[in-house]
Amino acid sequence: MKFIKHPTDASPLLEQTAQFVCVVNKAPEWKITWQKSSNSKNGTWSNIVTSSGAKAKYQHLKSNSLKIHRVQESDAGKYRCVADNGDHSKAATLMVKGKKEKLDGSF
């Protein structure tokens, strides 16, 4: 198994959308899941619950990408895509940039 594309660090603005890409050479045979680090010292990873609904926070796209809508500071951290049985994974960091500026330039 080989990663053709793997997630890279992202820095979206607050309330914007972030997307991580994950493509393996064994798709679609190998299932891709997405996880987020608990940010604790022991480095525990938890599966991300995704949905396809229009109001979903997390979407697992058909391309195996992870889309995070309406990014908040609490979304910052490490994310990884895990291929098949968990023996193969690649991680990236999400850093959320400051406040979203309103159209009139005020905050």
3-class DSSP state for residue 101?
coil
10-residue block means of pLDDT along the chain (107 residues)? 90 95 79 85 82 80 91 94 84 85 52
pLDDT value, residue 95:
95
pLDDT value, residue 102:
52
Q: Rounded distance, CA 89 to CA 107, Å?
A: 39
Q: Rounded distance, CA 56 to CA 67, Å?
A: 10
**pTM of this prediction?**
0.82
Cα angle 15, 19, 21; round to 5: 175
Q: Rounded distance, CA 64 to CA 21, Å?
A: 7
